[in-house]
Structure 1
Amino acid sequence: MSDRVEPLPDVFAIKLAGTGGLDVLQIREMEIPGPASDEVIIKVAAAGVNRGDVKQRMGDYPMAKDFPWGLGLEVSGWVTDVGSSVTEFGPGDAVCALLVGGGYATHCSAPAAQCVPVPKGCNIIDAAALPEVFCTVWMALVEQVGIQPGQSLLIHGGTSGIGTAAIQIAKSLGMTVIATAGTQEKLAVCLDLGADRAINYRTQDFVEKVLEYTGGQGVDVILDMVGGSYLERNLDCLAQRGTICAIASDENPKSEFSTRKVMLKRAKITGCTLRHRSVAEKCKILADLESRIWPLFEMGHIRPVVGARFALEDAAAAHEALEAGNTIGKILLTTSSAEPTLVGRTGQHVKP
């Protein structure tokens, strides 16, 4: 898309012209939508790029027929219009929003219940890196597993968007964290974010190292985004009465494992997904994050981790970078209206 010669429309979205390779990502002029009674309209500063977007582009993401098929699960930006029943936001408010689609655009609509103010002191652009991963981690670890202070947690993919959020949330809730990553640079990032230990899964046996670090006891909780062959190995380094929570299956959605190990360890294997949750459920997750995690941004205890930014019209290059797997943290698409301004203590930033 970076080779485009003709001028971009003032208002446009990245649409799918089918499923398949990068060429199905197409720029399409659009009209600014009007809000439903419970919605806000957002002038997008940035949109997060997620593996769910890549899988959807490739036709490998199961979705209900009534779900919107536009790409983009999260955005940050400024409210420009609100529906008749919306009272919590007004024009000029800086928000980040959790979507079921449509974020790859200069403007989008979102249920007001799925919007939260950009954390005070946070970059308005980088705030687009927060909704999807922070909601996913909170849903998995807090709601699904019910983690407790003092427990130990193994996070696979510690420098992914999910991984960087999981390390920071888990540490803020008093857990001991072990993370895996594939390079020395990525191991250093995990430790810098607060992980107590970091394991290079390319050169070390993570089962062996986890057991070494835990005195042979194993970890209480494992957050797994890999699936496939990892499930059996996760059981090997899980503590008695431990829990494995699957939130993705990037290696393979099918796994073979020993039920005997599950029985002997009295293990729990669970999982969850965010996109198909109801608006009310997402609202509850966002409210919990705003009250318990958002203040930590202002204090500097938690930060968004962004590895790369691309112009919205260069969505294909962003997908290519995500598939290559070399970035640390989130990849964002930014619009021409985006400026890297900080949200002040009023929680507002009005675009001229």
Structure 2
Amino acid sequence: MATGAAGAAGAVPAEFVAGFPETLAEISRSCRVLSRAEREGRRALGEQAADSGIALSALIGGHLGAARHAWPTLPGVAGARDAAELRKVGAAVLAALEAGVAALADGHGRAQRHAVRRAAGARKAFVDDLLYGRSDPGRIAEQAEGFGLRLADRHIVAVAAAVGEDPYDETHPMLHRVERELAGRFGDHDALIAPKDGQLVCIATSVQRHVLDAFVKTVAAPRTAVGRAHSGAVGVVRSYEEALSALDLAERLALEPAVLNAADLLVFPVLMRDRAAMSDLVRTVLGPLEDARGGAQPLLDTITAYAASGYVNAEAARRLDLSVRALSYRLERIAALTGFDPDDALQRYTLETAAMGARLLDWPSTPA
């Protein structure tokens, strides 16, 4: 009977159906329920099938086919004396079939969850090693191929900041949504999506910038930063650090764009390279604002909003929730105290640069 069951099971190897028709035959005689040991046996077979790459639908189909093939020859069916007895036998066999299929599904799902956790753990370990930048390059390059990355290529790293108090991790629904979206749109692609320190990271080759753009659009995080393209494992680390730096600058400078490109922010590391000179600029240009009524912060905010609005009075006033008249008064106070006129093209550049430096140095909260 096992041979017939295997034939009915189709593509499912006989060992994954073996014993089930015999169990049904015995239950058709006794009308008992499937025992705990028998359920555990099916559960174990479900795990083994998942580990062997057999789909759950095929596994269940194999068991249903085996049951259908065995039904006419089951002792309880063939020996039923009347319709009532046949119904009793049929109910017992169907209950056993239901319990057996449920156990198969449970084992199959359990194996898949274990596989996902193992894969997630391996991915986390690889991403940590890769972005830490201190692991053996040969080993990292070998591991990278298993995740679809060829580190000899030029790569770009994008980092999406977490939303509020909801950090990204291996169980976050956005991770699976992004993976499904990119797989559905691009099929096989040389990109790796993974959580890292509560943020979501995408590593893609420079020639697949469209994949990176799709990642940024799908995540739709309040702020995402994109590093520049660099070659090799060291280049991945560098692009990642550029993206992190861009997120940090955006936080400190209250930059508005939701998507930040590290290439657009190169001026800030240049400005901060000589911290002493930046501190001197802030003290010299903005120091007098501390003598204003209410302190320097409101006037510093005015310089920032005026620059962000393209030096349009009405827009700057709207951003600051002021009347245009009140804004004009503030601009006059800034010019009077600092000696730099915000409406003069050259002098406004000095004010704007000093205001950026103040935010980078956390001035006036922290003395420059």
TM-score class, shorter: under 0.3
Query: Which one scores higher on RCO, CA 8 angstroms, separation ≥ 6?
Result: 1
State the TM-score, normalizing by the size of structure 1.
Answer: 0.24
Higher strand share: 1
Give 1 or 2 for the bigger CA radius of gyration. Answer: 2
Higher helix share: 2
State the TM-score, normalizing by the size of structure 2.
Answer: 0.23
